[in-house]
A and B are shown apart, each in its own frame.
Chain A
Amino acid sequence: MLKFLDLKHIFYIYVFNLHAENITMKGTHLGEFEELVLLAVCTTHPDSYGNTVKDEINHIANRNINLSTAHGALARLEDKGFLSSKMGEATSVRGGKRKRIFEITAQGLKKLEEAKELRTSFWERIPEKVLQTQFVRS
């Protein structure tokens, strides 16, 4: 395992130009889909769980993801520390079955903001001309 970690460090340092102290066991990289899921957890608050998150993404982003895909992403994000979860109250709607309610953590919110800032900073650097041509072309 140690050997493997060493290799991984070297790989990250050389390929992504990251520093060793930033690397933990779980990668903290936020994928595009994961970002969507985080956002969906925020928008569906306080009733964020598998089905609502899935529906939210499918409606707003006009996608067609499976319930299990949403569950997988939620679980992964919880492992990364961006989400926290607790079991909700039993309701009669689901045949008395409780649901797992997700909530965004401070770390997750920070990550979302970072992602947003990253995008904004890119947008700000786009020359006026490019935006115009884009506009004309469409």
Chain B
Amino acid sequence: MKELPKNIRFLTKILFNEQIREEIHGDLMEEREAFSQNHGKLRTSFHLFITTLLFARYRYTWKNISQINNTTMSLKHTFKPAWRNLKKDKVSALLNGVGLTIGFTLTLIISLMLTKEMSYDQWHSKSDRIFRVTHDERSTGRSDRHLPTVGPPVGPALAETYGEVENYVRFRDIPTQPVRVGNKNFYESNIFYVDSTLFSVFDFTLKSGDPKTALQSASSIILSAEMSKKYFGDEPAIGKRIEIADTPYTVTGILNPPPSTTHLTPGFIIPFHAFRVPFGYPVTLNSWGWISFDTYVLLRDKEEKDLLQGKLEDFIKVHWSEERVGTFRFVLQPLEDIYLGDVDSDTVASGSWTNIYALSITGFLLLSLIIFNYTNISVAQSLNRSKEVGVRKALGASKSMVIAQFSAESMLLAVLAFLLSLVLIFPTMNFLRSFLGVNIDPMEILGFNHWLIAAWGMLVLVVGLLGGAYPAFIMSKVKALVALSRNISGGQLGINVRKVLVTMQFIITIGLLAGSIIIYQQISYMREKDLGYDKSSLAVLRVPGPTLLREADVLKEQLKTIPDVTGVAIGGGRMDGDNGNVPVKTPDMEESKPMFIEAVDYGYFETLGIPLVAGREFNKSYPTDSAGAVIVNETAAALMGYETPQDAIGKSIQVSDIRRDANIIGVVSDYHFSSLHNEIGPLAIMYPRTLLEDVYIRIEPGNLLTLVNNIEAKWNDIFPDLPFDLVFLESYLNQLYLEDVAFARMFQGLTMVTLIIACLGLYGLVSLITTQKTKEISVRKVLGANLKDLMGNLFRPFALRIVIAMLIVSPIAYLLLSGWLDNYAYKIDISWWLFLAAGLVVLITALVATVLHSMKVYRINPARTLKDE
């Protein structure tokens, strides 16, 4: 008769012990013989498999195994008491369990967030061969610019000249445009012109449509799944018509939603050959200097990157005039580095290393806090069990068996807490999504990073073992005779380690507390800082430039007729730092310096409440203003070398190519035209009407709804076909700090959690210590000590450690926090009382925990606790 198949033999081997394996083997073989006569081969083997599995019932498996197998028997003898011990000391188990679960949940989430941040764009199958060509003037020292873009001919020329380059894709983003389908009409900003090689370089896929032909016709367009849903709902969008800035396109494809770890998030993709140079631009698609095209190249071999990087020097020499050579460099930036890279770009998603460092540090601190806490309580707890260890040793337990016993106990709790936290990840993620806007899909991240699961396993192992290691170590050294004859109490064992661990806990808690106070102060400082203009009750209306050019005067007049509108002015931005940067030169300067530019209309500074320190602002009565006048801010005037703003007035100035020759007519006081992350830079303000697109409306605070309705009515009269896009400047500016606020909230949340965990730990520790000291306290009471003395006695060591922790943590936290504050151009000072306050909070918490417990012990009648002495 044929031997059983390998898989069945393996199964029986792990399920059954050798005593019953023989009869089961025999019966299974007979069963197979009988069954195969009526059924097919596959069916038979399946049947056999299921039958074998079903054998794993009743006494055929576990019961017999545990009686026979040596390893399983000792496991049973280790875990059963472990479980009993957990149940015996329910309070400690609960405190530990809650602390561990919270800690694990947060550590897991932090690890997910970190993994997401670090794994951007790795999902492209060729991600290691894709590079972005960037324009770097920083390394040549010419200016501070490192642009993510290059000129339009660079991509094709690279692919043609160098064999190393297999393919290229260019992305050209266009400014916000009105998009219309039927009566749906919105402004959209993520519109890109993209080469048709998109799908052969990147791993973007189409949900519907053919990637080969979707970008062939100049009138075709690919939508993201999100945009398709927005404009067409659940109907199939393919073949439908969509208008972008009055140009009709036909939908030829819908993108599959890419993984969330993508720095490219196009909403609309138009074939690159449909791109036309905007009217009035003095460039063509062959202009090497038109640095506005994100260009990605796919190399044949990733090893050839350095080789090609070197050849790019020659490439520049071939295509640029002699005076331009040496002023800039092309850099091949690896795709996977783009998200966290320092090349500024506002069209693609980007992350920051600061956040990653802050997250890792907090996560690490949190984790160590859990471990310290866990160790502390287990150490204190193990002292109550010296008798148990004594008995075990007397019965012949070896040192390693005692160690195994304690480790098993702490592993058991750690594993339980870990399993619970795995479940808790999902509700916590939902909470984070709605409150912090942190959008992470755990399954997606895990799907791309399997190693994370192994890392989590290691985490449990490390926490479990470290938590149990110390008590296991000290208890295993206890001699049976000593443990049984004398009462080891009061904690001669491990007292020093415990002291150190408690101090460490205080250090972490105080540090995090101080950190979250500083972060909170910085965020509220940014929100309340005087921006140099009156940001309250200002509404901003966006109008596409060319349209506004035609209707500006009408719009202004019409808006002024609304009762609650007290002023109207037009500017070229929303104070969000979206300004161009061009070289500016005056005859008094040796060489030109980069300055920001801004475009404003008559009466802008008056409406916004920005004072002029010298000269005047643009005025209708001076016809030369629109062609030959420039206003600069104080910083710019100082940069030009004028000692007082007055000196700058009337001087001639050359602003890039836009204004050849103009005169400075005014100097405006410094105001924040970009977010507070940046210092106020030098600013040159002009009056080119084509760049204006934001209408500032100063309103009376009052009935906002009626006001907005009134403005919209006027709008619909003048521009019936354009979407109405009104924002209030104050709330719009808050968006600039969304990331900071989310970060701050998250840090505060983490601090709260660490505080809670630390409290739980402290509470558990104090309760164990007081229980161990019950007799001591009773004796003191009999001798006449009152509650105050007892509490002081209990609390003094903690207070001392808090003070020590405060002294240790202050300089470290000071350094870290001032490092963080350096991200902000405008920041608060770290005050000396900060650490004192944080320490005080911890002190009070510790006091409460101590008081709660000493009260309990104090109330016990000494006669009861001392009766057996």
Residue positions of A touching B, CB distance < 8 A: 49-51, 55, 66-69, 71-72, 75-76, 79, 87, 93-95, 97-100
| CB neighbours of A51 from chain B (8 A) | 27, 30-31, 34
Q: What would be 28 A-B contacts, judged by CB atoms less than 8 Å apart?
A: A49-B23, A50-B23, A51-B30, A51-B31, A66-B50, A66-B51, A67-B27, A68-B54, A68-B57, A69-B54, A71-B27, A72-B57, A72-B60, A75-B60, A79-B59, A87-B23, A93-B1, A93-B30, A94-B29, A94-B30, A95-B25, A95-B26, A95-B29, A97-B23, A97-B26, A98-B26, A99-B27, A100-B23
A78 — nearest CB in chain B belongs to which residue?
B59
Chain B 352-390 near chain A by CB (<8 Å), digits 1 or 0: 000000000000000000000000000000000000000
A87-B23, A97-B22, A98-B23 known; A67+B58 contact, CB < 8 A: no
Interfacial residues, chain B to chain A (CB-CB below 8 A): 1-3, 22-31, 34, 50-52, 54-55, 57-60
> Which residues of the other chain, B, contact A93 by a CB distance below 8 angstroms?
1, 30
A76-B58, A94-B30, A95-B26 given; 10 more Cβ-contact pairs under 8 Å: A49-B23, A50-B27, A67-B51, A68-B52, A76-B59, A79-B59, A94-B1, A97-B22, A97-B25, A98-B22
* Chain A neighbourhood of B24, CB < 8 A: 71
Across the interface, B51 reaches (CB within 8 A) one of A68, A97, A99, namely: A68
Which chain A residues border B30 with CB–CB below 8 Å?
A: 51, 93-94
A67 → chain B closest CB, angstroms: 5
Determine which of A76, A95, A99 lies in contact with B1 in the assembled complex, contact meaning CB atoms within 8 Å.
A95
Among B23, B34, B50, B52, the residue within 8 A (CB) of A99 is: B23
Whether A72 touches B58, Cβ cut-off 8 Å, given contacts A66-B51, A67-B27, is yes
How far apart sit A50 and B23, CA to CA, in the bound complex (Å)?
9
Closest 6 pairs (CB-CB, A-B): A97-B26, A68-B54, A94-B26, A50-B27, A95-B1, A68-B55
Nearest residue in A to B35 (C-beta to C-beta)?
Answer: A67
Interchain nearest-CB distance for A82 vs B (Å): 15
Distance of A24 Cα from B51 Cα, bound (Å): 32
- Beyond A51-B34, A94-B1, A95-B1, whether A71 also contacts B26 by CB under 8 A is no
Q: Which of A49, A76, A87, A95 contacts B3 (CB 8 A)?
A: A95
Chain B proximity of A58: nearest CB distance (Å): 10
Secondary structure of the A contact surface, majority rule: helix
Residue numbers in A under 8 Å from B54 (CB-CB): 66, 68-69
Residues of B near A98 (CB, < 8 A) are 22-23, 26
Interface centre among A75, A97, A99 (most CB of B within 10 A): A97
Minimum C-beta distance from A56 to chain B (A): 13
**B23 & A67 in contact (Cβ 8 Å cutoff):** no
CA distance A130 to B40 in the complex (A): 49
Check B59–A75 contact: CB distance below 8 A: yes
Is the pair A67, B28 in contact by a Cβ cutoff of 8 Å? yes
Contacts of A79 in B (CB 8 A): 59
Measured CA separation A93–B34 after assembly (Å): 13
Query: What residue of chain B has the Cβ atom nearest to residue A92's Cβ?
Result: B1
Residues of A within 8 A of B23 (CB): 49-50, 87, 97-100
Do A71 and B55 have beta carbons less than 8 Å apart?
Answer: yes
A63 to chain B, nearest CB (A): 16
By a CB distance below 8 angstroms, the chain A residues around B52 are 68
Expressed in whole angstroms, the Cα–Cα distance for A97 and B21 within the complex equals: 10
Which residues of the other chain, B, contact A55 by a CB distance below 8 angstroms?
34
Contacts of A49 in B (CB 8 A): 23, 27
Q: Is the interface of B mostly helix, strand, loop or mixed?
A: helix
Q: Which residue of A lies closest to B53 (CB)?
A: A68
CB distance from A49 to the nearest CB of B (A): 7
In Å, the complex CA distance between A71 and B57 comes to 9
Tell me which of B22, B23, B34, B57 has the highest count of chain A C-beta atoms within 10 A of its own C-beta: B23
B4 nearest in chain A by CB position:
A95
Shortest CB-to-CB span from B124 to chain A, Å, is: 50
Whole-angstrom CA separation of A135 from B559 in the bound complex: 99
A71, B60: Cα distance in complex, Å: 9
Q: Which of A50, A66, A71, A76 is most buried by chain B, counting CB atoms within 10 A of its CB?
A: A71
Assembled-state Cα–Cα distance A97/B32 (Å): 14
A27 to chain B, nearest CB (A): 14
In angstroms, Cα B26 to Cα A95, docked, is 7
Which residue on A lies nearest to B54, using beta carbons?
A: A68
A residues less than 8 Å from B29 (CB atoms):
94-95, 97
Q: Given the complex of chains A and B, what is the CA–CA distance between A93 and B27 in angstroms?
A: 11
How many whole Å from A101's CB to the nearest CB in chain B? 10
Interface centre among B26, B31, B54 (most CB of A within 10 A): B26
Name the A residues within 8 Å of B22 (CB-CB). 97-98
Contacts of A69 in B (CB 8 A): 54
A94 to B4, CA, bound (A): 11
When chains A and B are docked, how far (Å) is the Cα of A79 from the Cα of B63?
13
Name the residue among A51, A66, A68, A87 with the largest chain B CB count within 10 angstroms: A68
CA distance A98 to B21 in the complex (A): 10
Docked complex Cα distance between A93 and B29 (Å):
10
Would you give the shortest CB distance from A84 to chain B, in whole angstroms?
Answer: 15
| Complex-state Cα separation, A79 to B55, whole angstroms | 17
For residue A97, which residue of chain B has the nearest CB?
Answer: B26
Least distance between B694 CB and chain A CB atoms (Å): 78
**In the complex, what residue of chain A is closest to B56 when comparing beta carbons?**
A68
Report which of A68, A76, A99 forms a contact with B26, defined as CB distance below 8 A: A99
The CA-CA distance from A94 to B3 in the complex, in Å, is 10
Residue of A69, A94, A98 with most chain B CB atoms under a 10 A cut-off: A94
Please indicate the chain A residues that have their CB under 8 angstroms from the CB of B55 in the complex.
68, 71
Q: Which residues of B contact A66 (CB under 8 A)?
A: 50-51, 54
CA distance A14 to B630 in the complex (A): 102
Considering the chains assembled together, what is the distance between the CA atoms of A121 and B500 in angstroms? 80
Chain B residue at minimum C-beta to C-beta distance from A68: B54
Chain A residues with Cβ below 8 Å from B50 are: 66
8 Å CB contact of B58 from A75, A95, A99, A100: A75
User: Closest CB-CB distance, B501 to chain A, in whole Å?
Assistant: 40
Residues on B with beta carbons closer than 8 Å to the beta carbon of A68: 51-52, 54-55, 57
Given the complex of chains A and B, what is the CA–CA distance between A124 and B681 in angstroms? 109
**Which residues of B sit under 8 angstroms from A76, Cβ to Cβ?**
58-59
Q: B59 to chain A: which residues have CB within 8 Å?
A: 75-76, 79
Q: How far is the CB of A19 from chain B (nearest CB, A)?
A: 29
> Which chain A residues lie closer than 8 Å to B2 at the CB level?
95
Bound CA span A75–B60, Å: 8
Note all chain A residues with C-beta closer than 8 A to B1. 93-95
Which residue of A has the minimal Cβ distance to B59? A75
* In the complex, residue of chain B having the shortest beta-carbon distance to the beta carbon of A87: B23
CA distance A76 to B60 in the complex (A): 10
Bound Cα distance A72, B54 (Å): 9
A100 to B60, CA, bound (A): 13
Min C-beta distance of B27 to chain A, whole Å: 4
- Residues of B near A99 (CB, < 8 A) are 23, 26-27
Residues of B within 8 A of A100 (CB): 23
Q: How far is the CB of A95 from chain B (nearest CB, A)?
A: 4
Contacts of A67 in B (CB 8 A): 27-28, 31, 51
Q: What is the chain B residue whose CB lies nearest that of A98?
A: B22
Output the least CB separation between A66 and chain B (Å).
6
Which residues of chain A are near B51, meaning CB under 8 Å? 66-68
A49 to B31, alpha carbons, bound, how many Å? 12
Give Cα A49–Cα B29 distance, bound, in whole angstroms. 14
A76 to B426, CA, bound (A): 44
Hey, which chain A residues are within 8 Å of B26, CB to CB? 94-95, 97-99
Q: Looking at the assembled complex, report how far the CB atom of A93 sits from the nearest CB atom of chain B, in whole angstroms.
A: 7
Q: How distant is B310 from chain A, measured CB to nearest CB, in Å? A: 71
A138–B27 CA distance with the chains assembled, in angstroms? 42
Q: How far is the CB of B857 from chain A (nearest CB, A)?
A: 32
- With most chain B CB atoms within 10 A of its CB, the pick from A67, A75, A95, A99 is A67
| A55, B3: Cα distance in complex, Å | 22
Nearest CB of chain B from residue A65's CB, rounded to whole Å: 11
What's the Cα separation between A98 and B20 when bound, in Å?
10
Q: How far is the CB of A117 from chain B (nearest CB, A)?
A: 29
Residue in A79, A95, A98 whose Cβ sees the most chain B Cβ within 10 Å: A95
Inside 8 A of A94's CB, which chain B residues have their CB? 1, 26, 29-30
